[in-house]
Chain A
């Protein structure tokens, strides 16, 4: 079925290190991709997005990379902090597909002091 998959269900990093969360998407027609962060007991929080006409986009401490050739998406978090501990979801959308976001199963990021 439709899916956006993740390579690593759990990622443990040391505080201050850089984190890389990977995601494989399924629909080659998808033209919009988002990363969300979900903390325990809260709804997903928008982090950063990227459109298919780009291969890199930077935000504050975060960078998203898109490789359409292999249908791969990654989220890089610089200088990871304890507050970054959460579950991270990637999601894809085909803009002609009625605004439907397809989410992956999520990767848990655990930041250790």
Chain B
């Protein structure tokens, strides 16, 4: 069974630009989560989507947004990139909001903002 996949693997952008990251959950999982892992700061919860709806949001500014498609894949968009947005962005999936809570992570997208 394929795990969570993310694309691209690495990305380099300049300050002020916009970026879109993509995630495909494990087959059968309806919930997708986004986390930011900045150096020295651990994993910070960004967003949770389930059945196409945003269910929860972490303490991040509105320029971080996303969506979930009917096939449960998801995109994370970051506008007006800032240097401190440089981080590993991790996507995770789980069976759903009422299901077992295990979240399975993808390999991440490494974003560098210069």
Identify the A interface with B (CB < 8 A): 1, 32, 34, 36, 41-46, 49, 89, 91, 93, 95, 97-106
Contacts and interface: CB of A to CB of B under 8 A. Distances in A.
Interface stretch (B60-68, B78-86, B99-107): B99-107
Interface of B: 4, 31, 33, 35, 40-45, 48, 55-56, 58-59, 90, 92, 94, 97, 101-108
A101 to B, nearest CB: 6
Q: Is the interface of B mostly helix, strand, loop or mixed?
A: strand
Contacts, number: 64
Contacts of A45: 105
Contact of A43 (B4, B56, B97): B4
Contact of A46 (B44, B58, B102): B102
B55 A34 contact: no
3 closest cross-chain pairs (CB), A and B: A43-B105, A98-B56, A103-B43
Given A44-B90, A89-B43, A106-B42, A98 B102 contact: no
Nearest to A43: B105
Nearest to B45: A100
Given A98-B48, A100-B45, A100-B48, A44 B105 contact: yes
B42 A105 contact: yes
A103 B90 contact: no
